[in-house]
Chain A
Amino acid sequence: MTRATPTPRRPRAPASASQQRLDPIGGLAAWPIAPVVALIVVTYAVVATISRPHEIQNVELAAAAVAALMIAAAVLVWSARPDLAPFTRTRAIVIVALGVGAHLLAAASTWQFNGMIQDDFAPIGLGLLLLALAPFRPWKEILLLGVSVAVTVGVTALVQSPFLGIQTPPVLFVIIAMTQVLAPTLAAAAYSRQVVNSIYRWQTDARRAIRARTEESRGLLAQSVVDHRLTNLGADVLPFLADVLARQTLTASDIKRARSLAFQVRRVLVAEVDHTWLDDLIDRERIGLTEHGLNPLCVIADPERRATGFDSDQRAAVGAVIVALCTLKGFDPTSLVVQIDGSGAAPTDTDQITQAFGHRGARPTPATDTTTLDIVTPAQTQAAAQARAQARAQDQVYAATMPRTPRRTTDAGSRATDTITIQAGISLPPFQRRRALRPYLSVLRAVFTRVRVTSRRPLLTLEFDAERGHLTKTKGTR
């Protein structure tokens, strides 16, 4: 028997991924499912309760059941709101717990007088609530919640079976009740799994294509970097060195000139080293605005170079939002201010570089450039031996800690939070402004935490946090 060549496994999305998290703009389009489902659930609960007055033994409990389901529906609508994204696990659990509570209350309100299981509103309501989680939560979570609800609903049906109006084997009631929950649950889980895997595959391909395109431009980029550097070096340095070499002698003025040139070149290079991607981005926007005949004034305040700690997704999100702001109708070119401050240590060079190139085994070096050792004996051998011993000890410490915490980025694993504030003056009616920025804000919410938008016409302020230091996904350079 011959065996076919195994096809490579298609990439699978991480278990925690949801449509909303992977494709925030797509998630934005899916959000109307929440209010629609909420409306159906509430309407059905009210109609089903009113149409069965003869079964209800305890009106208060029945009212409480409808109220609980209404709250669950309200929480669903609130949780799915794009400006409150992402939809967290806690919200999903609260919704399902309220639904289960409603189910138990409804069952208690008709205790011993429930005619049929199939017209109970809670199992179907719960099924619909679970269905509405599909665009927002990972499939495993939906499945787990759904199965737990189905078991609860099944047990309640079994307990009620002796008092029901139809004489069939009790397990039939269990099947009916559980199907009302399980069918929508499995549908929601299947949707979530399929859509997340499709998006993830597309993202993997897109990233590969982006990498390939970037590599293609390597030659051109390298040439432009060289040109830029040599221009920066000025017309002075190379001729000076060539002149000294040609003369084969050094004069006192040569030495003085060499010192001054060294100082100048170093100053330029140090300034360049301190340049971050955010500076580049703003520079480009500034040039773009100038080309449009405007007189831009864009301010960046990032004294600790915290921007360097952002990963590529965060950079893309910030970049897209800044570009969107600058190209928005009614944007005041003199009003853009980007500020980054925060708590915890600023990112070190080590963070950026080692992760930029994806070396997983990269080890962090101490945060400061130089670590001063208290070497008591000045003798060379002893100093060297001590340094070597210390180096080995450090090495062992890293070797022992790194495999367990492969991508820890800051020393001692401390968490740091960077707060980014983007301020821009935009003279557009609030509705249009919201509409234009909504997709970008949904992306910001997917990659940053605590996204706040405040508006005091014409000034718009976006504020959001980036957390570092805790298994961050930092990938990037300057």
Chain B
Amino acid sequence: MSLGLPGHLVQLTLARALARAAHWFALTCLMAAAVSVAILSLNRSPELWITTVVVVAMGALLVLFTRHRRIAFAVAFLAVGTLGVYVFTLTVLGVPDVFPASNMFLVALPKMALVMVGGAGSTALAGVLWSTAAFLLAEAAALLAILGTAVPYRPDLFTLSTYLVLVGVMVLAGIDRRASNAAQPAIHRAVQDGANRQLRDALDTRAIALLNDTTVAQLVALSLEEPGALSPGLRASLNDTLTTLHDTNWLTDIDARSATAPKPTLTAQSTANHSWLSSAVYITIERCRDRGLVVEVTGDRDALARLDADSDRDVGLALQQCLVNVILHAGVASAEVAIESDLTTISLLITDAGRGFTESESASDRLGLRQSVRRRIEQLGGSVLIWSRPGAGTSVRLTVPAAQKQTPNQTPNAASRRPTP
């Protein structure tokens, strides 16, 4: 992943993450304090239960503040927290003959939790100010409480170091990342460029395939003809090519056509036959029959109704290239197109008993298979398999994903839901 946060989001994101971290730190301290005091109250001083309640109240306010980041809750947490620190320090250090001095980690727990209020500051400065206020209040409350107990005062380094680490982290997060400021937009531009290039390549792929289908195929067909009058089939296809190319919007036209094309009907028997007759596969086969190729169609023709407009168009064009290859290169006048389908895919197997070819021979002429057949089918998420050998014919299998096949018991429901035309 290269898309890092842009400059204007960095501060906000880091502030939120620091707030979350500070809250969890504080909650852990408060939980530890509550459990410790509860254990002490069970074992030593039953009157400590009130301290447990105060710590739990601090925890509840903290959770409230975490959920709704409002200044009122922060102030309430500071007020209740200061009181909590006072009560906690007074009662815990008041347990006779347990703690030798005031600088106990246990006593520091609610203070450290209170300091963490600064983590929720929206800017580094605000955070430092909140933390400093909390630190001063906590230390003052603790000092006041210690004076009321018999234990000697020792400075509490735990709270001090927690405060310093928090302030350090907030300042670090608040420092502007100047060095990276220029790089981040450059990465964004590179990603956008990549996306544009990808789209352009997809359009280019389609354009090259179309040019190969039309222009190159026409030129090759002409070059294989004998001198004389044009055959009706050649005349028709030449006309078709020129009409397609003279309209300079052929790429976008295809998009527009496919976008407005009606969605295929999936199951109705009456429309299935119509779908076959209007499918690009049928039209292609008819066009090749016009050019003198005998095409035998077998298998599940109705399955083609499950192809959407894009797939139908591209399968038709890929099939056209395969059949044109038979006409131009196979040296036979017949081919078989077998349509097979399973739950999620439809396959067309185009077989001829012609000359066949080997890979090395086809290398110079790979454009048709590579661009007009393979890339086109693969853009649909399908696959192409080719078997051939000189003298033993060629089989090409085009497999494309299609709409899920309806099971027989679903059919009546599906049909009844469809509005009548």
Contacts and interface: CB of A to CB of B under 8 A. Distances in A.
A357 B228 CA distance: 47
Contact of A269 (B3, B196, B216, B249): B216
B202 interface: yes
A303 B328 CA distance: 31
A384 interface: yes
Given A29-B180, A226-B248, A229-B208, A188 B21 contact: yes
B177 interface: yes
Nearest to A191: B21
A109 B198 CA distance: 64
B412 interface: no
Interface residues of B, number: 137
Chain A: number of interface residues, binned into ranges: 35 or more
A383 B25 contact: no
A365 B17 contact: no
A187 B251 contact: no
Interface string A203-223: 100110011011101110111
Contact of B192 (A213, A254, A394): A213
Interface string B159-196: 00000010011001001010110111011111111111
B192 A225 contact: no
Contacts, number: 436
Contact of A312 (B28, B158, B191, B379): B191
Interface in B367-383: 367, 369-371, 374-375, 378-383
Contact of A362 (B20, B40, B184, B381): B381
Contacts of B250: 226
B248 A356 contact: no
A187 B9 contact: no
B105 interface: yes
A291 interface: no
Nearest to B239: A245
Contacts of A193: 20
A172 B203 contact: no
B223 interface: yes
Contacts of B193: 281, 316, 319
A378 B389 CA distance: 10
B203 A221 contact: yes
A172 B40 contact: yes
Interface string A178-201: 111011101111110111001100
A312 B2 CA distance: 9
Given A191-B20, A364-B383, A237 B215 contact: yes
A438 B359 contact: no
Contacts of B349: 387-388, 391
Contacts of A21: 1
A245 B194 CA distance: 42
A177 to B, nearest CB: 9
Contact of B2 (A30, A33, A313): A313
A249 B215 CA distance: 18
A191 B18 contact: yes
A314 B140 CA distance: 56
A40 interface: yes
Main secondary structure of the interface of A (DSSP, over half): helix
B121 to A, nearest CB: 15
A362 B383 contact: yes
A390 interface: yes
B387 A203 contact: no
Contact of B219 (A134, A186, A187, A261): A261
A368 B36 CA distance: 71
A145 to B, nearest CB: 16
Interface in B260-286: none
A166 B201 CA distance: 75
Nearest to A444: B2
A364 B383 CA distance: 6
B391 interface: yes
Contacts of B2: 24, 313, 316-317, 320, 443, 446-447
B172 A33 contact: yes
Given A25-B184, A25-B187, A359-B401, A250 B393 contact: no
Given A168-B98, A269-B211, A361 B401 contact: yes
B158 to A, nearest CB: 8
A262 to B, nearest CB: 4
Question: Most B CB atoms within 10 A — which of A25, A223, A255, A265?
Answer: A25
Question: Most A CB atoms within 10 A — which of B18, B382, B393?
Answer: B393
A383 B192 contact: no
Interface stretch (B49-57, B72-80, B131-139, B350-358): B350-358
Interface of B: 1-5, 9-10, 13-14, 16-18, 20-25, 27-29, 32, 35-36, 39-40, 43-44, 97-100, 104-106, 109, 112, 158, 165, 168-169, 172, 175, 177, 179-180, 182-184, 186-205, 207-208, 211-212, 215-216, 218-220, 222-223, 225-230, 235, 238-239, 241-242, 245-246, 248-252, 255, 336, 338, 344, 347, 349, 351, 353, 357-359, 362, 365-367, 369-371, 374-375, 378-389, 391-393, 395, 397, 399, 401
21 contacts: A26-B177, A179-B32, A187-B22, A191-B20, A203-B1, A218-B255, A219-B252, A222-B203, A225-B200, A249-B228, A265-B219, A269-B212, A277-B197, A315-B190, A317-B2, A349-B374, A369-B374, A384-B336, A384-B353, A439-B183, A443-B2
